[in-house]
Amino acid sequence: MDRSPPTPTLRSPRRLLRLLEIDRAVFYAIVLRLWQLLAGAGTIVLMTRFFSQETQGYYYTFASLVAMQTFFELGLNIVVINVCSHEWARLEIDASGTIRGDANALSRLISLGRMLFQWYGLASLLFAVVAGGVGVYFLQRQPDVGVSWQMPWLALVIASGLLLWTLPFNAVLEGCNQVGTVNQFRVIQAMAANGAVWTVMILGGGLWAAVAATSARLACDLYLLLVRYRRFFAPFLRPAAGERISWRSEVWPLQWRLAVGGVFSYFAYFLLTPVMLAYHGAVVAGQMGMTWTVVTAIQAAAGAWVQTRAPRFGILIQEERYLELDRVFRRVTLVALAAMIVASGLFCLLLYGLQINAYRVVDRLLDLRTSSLFLLAAGVQLLANSLVYYVRAHKQEPFLVVSVISNCLVGATAWWFGSRYGPFGAALGLLATYACFTLPAHAVIWRRCRFERAADLPG
């Protein structure tokens, strides 16, 4: 009798992917984050070779200042995904790429898209003017370290303003359950952006590398929207013929809360590098910026399991399939947390190896102790964010007060402890805020949301 093991089939890998809750959208989201981590390592090596530590500090400060676009998005991007997912429950894309389905749902979707075009056109213009001026004011106040930043900064602001204009239409695609294709395209976009950065670095372009990256992302976005999904967006060129989404009653009640929270979120994510530049110089700012980029990339990769399910959550809620909603949410959250732990551990091992072998590149990163604290804080925040995605899929935003308080605490601790004790102090303040306030408060709100939903069910 033949007792040899059975021949492996394709069912085993598929079963493993299902067990890990990896679908097409999650797969490409993970590929994107892995690429960003690997490409980030390549960028670190090239920066060590072609950038001074002062130039590195300005490079990452540019990124933090450009993130002021949060003040002009006003939370609309998140609202778009959740609103569109509810309409998409009655629509689909046919083989030609055209939207088919319920006429009223399509009309409402079109009305939203046309509003977005006008809203973000104005927001992009305001961003270019205001952020450009604020950046010039802040950077001019820093000691002269021989870095020519004026023209690259102005060019970066213009390119970023145009990129901001394309942002809501990517959100429309995600809300219409095109997350897999959008994430696949983002991998290509990231590769193009990194290729542009590396080319400019090698050619000695200095801070123009940031402009090249943004321009490459803009070109890819325009291709996605105007070529790849041209049939999808063709109906948006004409006014909606039927029902329209009411901005005042359906979008604004959720948006204004997200807008206030989003404005304050800047202090949680992007204040660290400017604080280090202002109080500890360009070298420490460069170390902070590079390490924070790695930390947020790891968090985003792990969070992809939950984030990419946001449209799916909305569809399940629309169909009142709450048991499946809870099952999917629990599984993807656990997998996301496990991924965060594994990725953080690998990065810490890598950093430890670089430090004990005294590789030159280690001077461009924060030390192991400080980096570990930032990773731990990011893991706690990951859990809190997962609860947010669940509740927001119900088209609710009860996190406003908690979000404002949390982000103010993060900003205050980043400035107070960071200005006095450097990155380690900022990391301690970040971890204390997320662990002692943000996560417990989010958990209370999440439980209340589920309780109220259960009370509304018949029987």
The three-state DSSP-derived secondary structure of 79-115 is HHHHHHHHHHCCEEECCCCCEEECHHHHHHHHHHHHH
pTM: 0.68
pLDDT band at 35 (very low <50, low <70, confident <90, very high): confident
For residues 335 and 305, the answer to whether their CB atoms sit within 8 Å is: yes
**Residue 434 scores a pLDDT above 90:** yes
* Nearest partner of 232 among 382, 109, 68, 396, judged by Cα: 109
pLDDT in tens, 115-129: 888 888 898 999 999
Q: What does the pLDDT average to over 75-97?
A: 81
Lowest mean pLDDT among 11-25, 50-64, 209-223, 418-432: 11-25
Cα separation, 252 vs 212, in Å, equals 35
Q: Cβ neighbours of residue 391 under 8 Å, at least 6 residues apart? A: 397, 398, 399, 445, 446, 449
Cα separation, 180 vs 205, in Å, equals 35
pLDDT in tens, 388-420: 888 888 777 788 788 888 888 888 888 899 889
For residues 128 and 161, the answer to whether their CB atoms sit within 8 Å is: yes
**Residue 5 scores a pLDDT above 50:** no
**Residue 3 scores a pLDDT above 80:** no
Calculate ∠ Cα 306-221-295, nearest 5°: 40
What integer pLDDT is reported at residue 381 of this predicted model? 93
What integer pLDDT is reported at residue 242 of this predicted model? 81
pLDDT in tens, 142-192: 888 788 899 999 999 999 999 999 888 888 898 888 877 888 888 899 999
Kindly state the percentage of the chain with pLDDT values over 90: 29
In the predicted model, what is the mean pLDDT of the chain?
84
Q: Which amino acid is at 300?
A: A
Q: Which amino acid is at 415?
A: W
pLDDT greater at residue 374 or residue 113? 374
pLDDT in tens, 200-253: 999 999 999 999 999 999 999 999 999 999 999 998 888 888 888 887 777 777
Looking at the DSSP assignment, which residues form a beta bridge with residue 99? Answer: 93
Q: What does the pLDDT average to over 270-291?
A: 87
Cα separation, 350 vs 130, in Å, equals 40
What integer pLDDT is reported at residue 345 of this predicted model? 94
pLDDT band at 10 (very low <50, low <70, confident <90, very high): very low
What integer pLDDT is reported at residue 15 of this predicted model? 65
Sign, CA torsion 446/447/448/450: positive
Q: What does the pLDDT average to over 9-19?
A: 57
Phi/psi at 395 (nearest 5 deg)? 60, 45
For residues 266 and 87, the answer to whether their CB atoms sit within 8 Å is: no
For residues 236 and 225, the answer to whether their CB atoms sit within 8 Å is: no
What integer pLDDT is reported at residue 9 of this predicted model? 47
> Is 4 in a helix, a strand, or coil?
coil
**Residue 289 scores a pLDDT above 60:** yes
